[in-house]
Amino acid sequence: MLIAGTAISIALIGWYILSWVVSFPPTVRASTSGGTASVTFQTVAAFGHQPHPDWVSYLVQNSQGKWVHSTVVQVPANSTVKITIMNYDGASGLRNPFWARPRGVVGGVEYVDGKALNVANPDEASHTFAIPDMGVSVEVPGVTDTAPNQCSTTPCQTSMAHRTITFTIRTGKPGHYRWQCFVPCAAGTQNGFGGPMQTVGWMDGYLNVT
Amino acid sequence: MNESTDKPIDLRKIVAVWLVLSVIGVLAMVFGLGPHMPPGADTAQAKSQRDANIIIAAILTPITIGLFVYFGYALTTFRQRGEVIEDGPPIHGDSQLQGTWVIGTIMIVLFLAAYGTYALFATESSASGAGGGQGPELISAAPSGALEVQVVAQQWQFTFRYPQYGGFETTELVLPAGRTVVFHVTSLDVIHGFWAYQLGVKIDAVPGTDNVADVTPHKIGTFSVHCAELCGVWHGSMASTGHVVSSSRFATWIGQQQASLAPVTKLLPPYHSIYFPDPVVRAG
């Protein structure tokens, strides 16, 4: 009985560790061209698939153009990285309007649907893309509630209602830099701070600078 | 062997060894390790905490040495050397030993309580002062001309507002040397902890609450800022570096921040001791 109990306990612990390891999101390499790396994300209100179909999430496009459910991205060190975020999610507003100003980006501006902004409208914020240790923070405005053809599941198509946010950052020395969203956007969790806001692969990720 | 005559001899040996080692240990603790104990002596508050650590360590040293001396003596003197193992004689109540233990423990606890209370209420002019940190009022009033800095905690970064300079908000914490700083600490989401380690300041950041503490940094240089309350997945990364600079450099920095942050400062809510926002629309 004792041996059986011990074996079951070890098996359960092993299963838990293994499931954690295999569930960690894959790393997606940035595509590079002419010395500039490029990363394209899309942000959706609901992932639409298991294990959490109703969780808000980022997805990232790999070099073959396929959308991957991950927030772990590899970019080159000491280089310029152009980041594009296609946001299909609605606006919920910034809790702290301070994050409405693009920080740590080349030129001090972000482009929203092609328009350069040195400060965005905090009430239009859907998310932020922030890398605190690199001093980067960019507001991601959302689509209006009345916009037609809204996306409800991933991957969203560019024909659907979305905002396009682009900005450029300069990477420094190699390292693992966490990135996050500052908007409490996890609908259905306490004050919007649970679930996807606390989980790498959804609204948190790593920028692996190599 | 005669148990009644051996017991005092054993006790005298143990006490003698304990006394010698305790004197050496306490001196080493106070004068050797003490000056290097955290959090240092960059501010009066930090020095007060370091002194408390030294005192506690000095009290614990003879207690710890006593345990190890007795343990070592018992292992070497009373060990079985091949004889048949038998239970020792039953020990009945020793009122002298019990009394010493209880009274000694009470004295240590009362001393630490009295010392802690003194350190908490003492003013900085008496080279102590804990500054508060658990409510909207300081234990003693800050001097006039003190710099007010609001610490705004949010998952997972601290930002800082300077209400006396137009209320701008920044991710940098820069303080002038030699000027008392009053920290107003609050949170926008969950409970965090603002821990400016080398300054000796550690304050809970609670949503809807304004916790206040003061400190006067003197040493120009940097200090580390950490979150001291488990606050979510990136709690371990919620850290930054603060700077203590000269008055002239501080004035220059203030001017630069006011100018560069002007576009976003006008979007900020008016300065207030707390910001407990309405429920997030979509979070429900």
Contact B139, B130 (CB under 8 A): yes
| Tokens linked to A136 | 């980067």
pLDDT in tens, B3-14: 445 667 888 999
Residues above pLDDT 70, as percent of chain A: 100
d(C-alpha A197, C-alpha B130), whole Å = 36
pLDDT band at A23 (very low <50, low <70, confident <90, very high): confident
| B264 vs A97, A180, A192: nearest CB | A97
Q: Which residues pair with B243 in a beta bridge?
A: B174, B222
Smallest CA–CA separation between B284 and chain A, in Å?
A: 6
Q: Which residues pair with B175 in a beta bridge?
A: B244
pLDDT in tens, A88-129: 999 888 989 999 999 999 999 999 999 999 999 999 999 999
Backbone angles phi, psi at A199, to 5 degrees: -130, 125
Residues above pLDDT 70, as percent of chain B: 89
B283 CB within 8 Å of a chain A CB: yes
Within 13 Å of residue A172, how many CA atoms lie on the same side as its CB? 11
pLDDT at B84: 76
Q: How many residues does chain A have?
A: 210
Contact B201, B183 (CB under 8 A): yes
pLDDT band at B62 (very low <50, low <70, confident <90, very high): very high
B239 CB within 8 Å of a chain A CB: no
Residues above pLDDT 90, as percent of chain A: 71
Smallest CA–CA separation between A139 and chain B, in Å?
A: 12
| Tokens linked to B94 | 């020793």
- Look up residue A93 and give its amino acid: G
d(C-alpha B77, C-alpha A11), whole Å = 47
Q: Look over chain A and give the mean of its residue pLDDT values, rounded to a whole number.
A: 92
Q: Do A103 and B171 touch (CB under 8 A)?
A: yes
Q: Is the pLDDT of residue B59 over 70?
A: yes
Ranges of beta strands (E only) in chain B are 147-154, 157-162, 168-170, 174-176, 181-187, 192-196, 201-205, 211-215, 221-227, 239-245
pLDDT at A173: 94
What single-letter DSSP state applies at residue A200? B
**Residue B205 CB contacts under 8 Å (≥ 6 apart), including other chains:** B151, B153, B185, B186, B187, B191, B192, B193, B194, B211, B229
Q: Do B233 and A118 touch (CB under 8 A)?
A: no
d(C-alpha B226, C-alpha B158), whole Å = 9
**Tokens 């390891």 appear where?**
A21
ipTM of the complex: 0.86
> Which residue, B214, B219, B221, is CA-closest to B243?
B221
Greater confidence (B248 vs B92) lies with B248
Measured between beta carbons, which residues in chain B are less than 8 angstroms from residue A133? Answer: 237
Measured between beta carbons, which residues in chain A are less than 8 angstroms from residue B279? Answer: 191
Q: Give the number of other Cβ atoms within 10 Å of residue B42's Cβ.
A: 21
Within 13 Å of residue B236, how many CA atoms lie on the same side as its CB? 4
**Nearest residue of A to residue B279, measured between CA atoms:** A191
> Which residue, A206, A208, A181, A207, is CA-closest to A196?
A181
Cα A171 vs. chain centroid, distance in angstroms?
18
Average of per-residue pLDDT across A140-161: 90
> Which residue, B137, B212, B146, B133, is CA-closest to B178?
B146
pLDDT at A18: 85
> Which residue, A31, A21, A17, A19, is CA-closest to A68?
A31
Q: Which residues pair with A42 in a beta bridge?
A: A59, A86
Ranges of beta strands (E only) in B155-233 are 157-162, 168-170, 174-176, 181-187, 192-196, 201-205, 211-215, 221-227
pTM of the model: 0.84
> Which residue, B114, B276, B125, B154, is CA-closest to B214?
B125
Average of per-residue pLDDT across B238-245: 96
Q: Look over chain B and give the mean of its residue pLDDT values, rounded to a whole number.
A: 87
> Which residue, A192, A185, A203, A169, is CA-closest to A41?
A203
pLDDT band at B185 (very low <50, low <70, confident <90, very high): very high
Measured between beta carbons, which residues in chain A are less than 8 angstroms from residue B281? Answer: 92-93
**Nearest residue of B to residue A118, measured between CA atoms:** B263
Q: Is the pLDDT of residue B151 over 60?
A: yes
Measured between beta carbons, which residues in chain B are less than 8 angstroms from residue A118? Answer: 263
pLDDT band at B277 (very low <50, low <70, confident <90, very high): low
Substitution target from A56, A96, A203 for chain B, most B beta carbons within 10 A: A96
pLDDT in tens, A5-20: 999 999 999 988 887 7
The angle, 0 to 180 degrees and rounded to 10, between the axes of the packed helices B3-27 and B44-77 is: 150
Measured between beta carbons, which residues in chain A are less than 8 angstroms from residue B169? Answer: 96, 98
Q: Is the pLDDT of residue A189 over 50?
A: yes
Q: Is the pLDDT of residue B85 over 50?
A: yes
pLDDT band at B129 (very low <50, low <70, confident <90, very high): very low
Average of per-residue pLDDT across B114-132: 62
pLDDT at B128: 40
Greater confidence (A50 vs B20) lies with B20
d(C-alpha A154, C-alpha A61), whole Å = 12
| Helix or strand run (H / E) with residue B116 | helix B95-121
Q: Is the pLDDT of residue B276 over 90?
A: no
pLDDT at A55: 92
| A96 vs B154, B156, B279: nearest CB | B154
Average of per-residue pLDDT across A32-36: 84
pLDDT at B133: 56
**Bond prior to B234 in cis (omega within 30° of 0):** no
Q: Give the number of other Cβ atoms within 10 Å of residue B125's Cβ.
A: 10
DSSP A97-153: GGGGS-BSSGGG-EEETTEEESS--GGGEEEEEEEGGGTEEEEEE-B-TT-SS---S
Measured between beta carbons, which residues in chain A are less than 8 angstroms from residue B280? Answer: 92-93, 95, 184, 191-192
Contact A135, A121 (CB under 8 A): no
